[in-house]
Amino acid sequence: MNIEAGALPSEVIKYLNKYSLEKRSAEYSGAETFNNIAVIPAIKEYGNIIKLIESLALCDSAYFPETLFLFVINNTLNAPDEIIEDNRRSIALLRNFINGKETHGTLNGTVLKSGIRIGFIDASSEGKAMPVKEGGVGYARKIGMDTALELFNYKNKRKKILICLDADCTVNKQYLTSIVESFNKKDLNAGYVNFEHPLPDDDESRLAIINYEIFLRYYVLGLIYAGSSYAIHTIGSTMLCTCESYIKVEGMNKKKAAEDFYFMEKLCKNYSIHKVDGASVYPSSRGSWRVPFGTGQRVNRYLSKEQNEYLLYSPSSFEVLKKWNSLFNSGLIQTAAEYLGKAAEIHPALHSFLIQNNFEESWGKIASSCKSTEQLAKQKHFWFDGFRTLKLIHHLRDNGIPQEEMFGAVESVLKKMGNEKGININGSYRNSISEQLVYLKKLREIA
């Protein structure tokens, strides 16, 4: 993309010229520029787009005039006809909203009366579809977020907030207000909102989503206990950042899956990540073909009974991580040999992990290049990042600290964190939805 100087701040122009994909145009309603833009990738989501728009239209409307909800209707060049046709219907629906029409019978004018601003980018129609090799959710998010940079109102001093959402979600009524006010009043640069998967009506699907959400929250709980600076949720529909922080981390990646993990990790390396209280998103609990892992695939796997889903990383793994974080992040600067020796005392698998990850060579470069304790702390944070943290937990799982029964593991970490009362459900956990919900509700409160 080649952006000329004048209309946009120089740092935005520089980013777009260096990192942006091919230029995409957006159709939208309302103001010519905005302070807040929610980017919403959508592929074969006609019905869910309607549900999401209805949910958004019920939000507190105080910031509707300065906010754009920007859908990225997308598919790759080789997409089947059924996807292309569903996307065509979505584009027609959104275009009608933009033109002041509601064509779906259930809406009854609600969206138009709300004052909500809706837009879309066509990354689906002939000549506009995404490339087969790179096209996916990361590519679609990047299209939307990069385009959003050209639609912000840079003339006022309010935060320019990029909000990530997905088309198969709904939100609570304070969603937008909580985000905008938190970022502006607390001077935030990056964050995420709360999430809760709706519980399906049938028992098996309900058990599947309870199981998966416990897995997600338990991992973050373990990281909190271990003192990890990467103890954050990395779910695409919950991510938030300012345009400045987006540019600082060189934008969204094009990954077909885990784009959210890597984007939040980049933000976490450069900024404090804050949970925005009061804002909640409700992601779909369905099985899905859209990405190779995540909610949809975990639900599918649970329902197919491929493996025992009631296993979690051992609490002992988080003990090892806690000891390593305490050692590595202490103010005492040690040699690589000293770190490796103490790592072996903590656990042999920690030592082998560091060897496999070239710790000695990496630490030598870090120690020799940093000229202050602040620089050294930052480089430690960069080296032992969220991805290496997860890799360590997996390495421990595969080398001497096997997974444990789900609810015993949750119970153990809860107690380690000071919840002495515990919960202590009985062994019938596989069939007891009510008992599993006790754990899920507890984890929703603290992780």
Model pLDDT for residues 273-324, shown as the tens digit of each residue: 999 999 999 998 755 544 455 666 777 787 878 889 899 999 999 999 999 9
Looking at the structure, do residues 88 and 178 belong to the same domain, yes or no?
A: yes
In eight-state DSSP terms, residue 289 is: S
User: How crowded is residue 257: how many other Cβ atoms within 10 Å of its Cβ?
Assistant: 15
Q: What is the pLDDT of residue 4?
A: 46
Asked if the structure places residue 106 within a domain, the reply is yes
Strands 161-164, 36-42: parallel, antiparallel or unpaired by DSSP? parallel
Determine the residue type at 290.
R
Looking at the structure, do residues 268 and 408 belong to the same domain, yes or no?
A: no
Residues with Cβ within 8 Å of 390's Cβ and at least 6 positions away in sequence, in order, are none
Q: What is the pLDDT of residue 290?
A: 46
Q: What is the mean pLDDT of residues 162-179?
A: 98
CA dihedral (205, 84, 290, 259) positive or negative: negative
Asked if the structure places residue 29 within a domain, the reply is yes
Task: Compute CA 202 distance to the chain's CA centroid, rounded to the nearest angstrom.
Answer: 27
Q: Copy the structure tokens of residue 353.
A: 């992990």
Q: What is the mean pLDDT of residues 173-190?
A: 98
CA distance 223 to 109: 46
Looking at the structure, do residues 414 and 276 belong to the same domain, yes or no?
A: no
- Residue whose tokens read 């991805």: 387
Structural domain of 374: 315-398
Under DSSP, is residue 316 helix (H, G, I), strand (E, B) or coil? helix
Q: Copy the structure tokens of residue 14.
A: 């520089």
Residues with Cβ within 8 Å of 324's Cβ and at least 6 positions away in sequence, in order, are 343, 346, 350, 392
Asked if the structure places residue 307 within a domain, the reply is no
Given pLDDT bands bounded at 50, 70 and 90, which one contains residue 232? very high
Buried b (16+ CB within 10 A) or exposed e, 338-351: ebbebbeebbebbb
- Would the pLDDT of 6 be above 90? no
Asked if the structure places residue 297 within a domain, the reply is no
Provide the total of helices (H) and of strands (E) in the chain, helices listed first: 18, 11
Looking at the structure, do residues 48 and 172 belong to the same domain, yes or no?
A: yes
Indicate the range of 178-187, 340-349, 371-380 predicted with least confidence.
371-380
Please answer whether residues 192 and 232 qualify as being in contact, where contact means their C-beta atoms are separated by less than 8 angstroms.
Answer: yes
Looking at the structure, do residues 264 and 339 belong to the same domain, yes or no?
A: no
Cα atoms in the 13 Å half-sphere on the side-chain side of 386: 21
Looking at the structure, do residues 119 and 181 belong to the same domain, yes or no?
A: yes
Looking at the structure, do residues 36 and 113 belong to the same domain, yes or no?
A: yes
Given pLDDT bands bounded at 50, 70 and 90, which one contains residue 2? very low
CA distance 373 to 379: 10
Given pLDDT bands bounded at 50, 70 and 90, which one contains residue 29? confident
214, 273, 328 from 322: Cα distances, Å: 21, 20, 10
- Would the pLDDT of 38 be above 90? yes
Please answer whether residues 37 and 163 qualify as being in contact, where contact means their C-beta atoms are separated by less than 8 angstroms.
Answer: yes
In this predicted model, what pLDDT tens digit does every residue of 108-167 receive, in sequence order? 577 888 999 999 999 999 999 999 999 999 999 999 999 999 999 999 999 999 999 999
Q: What is the pLDDT of residue 422?
A: 53
Looking at the structure, do residues 155 and 194 belong to the same domain, yes or no?
A: yes
Given pLDDT bands bounded at 50, 70 and 90, which one contains residue 434? confident
Looking at the structure, do residues 321 and 416 belong to the same domain, yes or no?
A: no
Please answer whether residues 112 and 100 qualify as being in contact, where contact means their C-beta atoms are separated by less than 8 angstroms.
Answer: yes
Query: What's the mean per-residue pLDDT of the chain?
Result: 91
Give percent above pLDDT 90 in the chain: 80
Give percent above pLDDT 70 in the chain: 92
For the chain, the maximum distance between any two Cα atoms, rounded to a whole number of angstroms, is 70
In this predicted model, what pLDDT tens digit does every residue of 57-110 receive, in sequence order? 999 999 999 999 999 999 999 999 999 999 999 999 999 999 987 665 555 577
Asked if the structure places residue 3 within a domain, the reply is no
Number of domains in the chain: 3
- Would the pLDDT of 359 be above 80? yes
Q: 404 pairs with which residues across the strands?
A: 312
Q: Domain holding 166: CATH number?
A: 3.90.550.10
Asked if the structure places residue 304 within a domain, the reply is no
Asked if the structure places residue 296 within a domain, the reply is no
Looking at the structure, do residues 416 and 381 belong to the same domain, yes or no?
A: no
CA distance 175 to 152: 20
Strands 26-28, 118-123: parallel, antiparallel or unpaired by DSSP? antiparallel
Q: What is the pLDDT of residue 168?
A: 95
Looking at the structure, do residues 106 and 123 belong to the same domain, yes or no?
A: yes
In this predicted model, what pLDDT tens digit does every residue of 321-341 receive, in sequence order? 999 999 999 988 899 999 999
Of 398, 414, 436, the domain-final residue = 398
Q: Copy the structure tokens of residue 285.
A: 């609990």
Q: Which of 169, 57, 187, 34 is nearest to 113 (CA)?
A: 57
Asked if the structure places residue 146 within a domain, the reply is yes
Residues with Cβ within 8 Å of 207's Cβ and at least 6 positions away in sequence, in order, are 302, 430, 433, 436
Looking at the structure, do residues 349 and 412 belong to the same domain, yes or no?
A: no
- Would the pLDDT of 387 be above 90? yes
Q: What are phi and psi of 71, to 5 degrees?
A: -80, 145
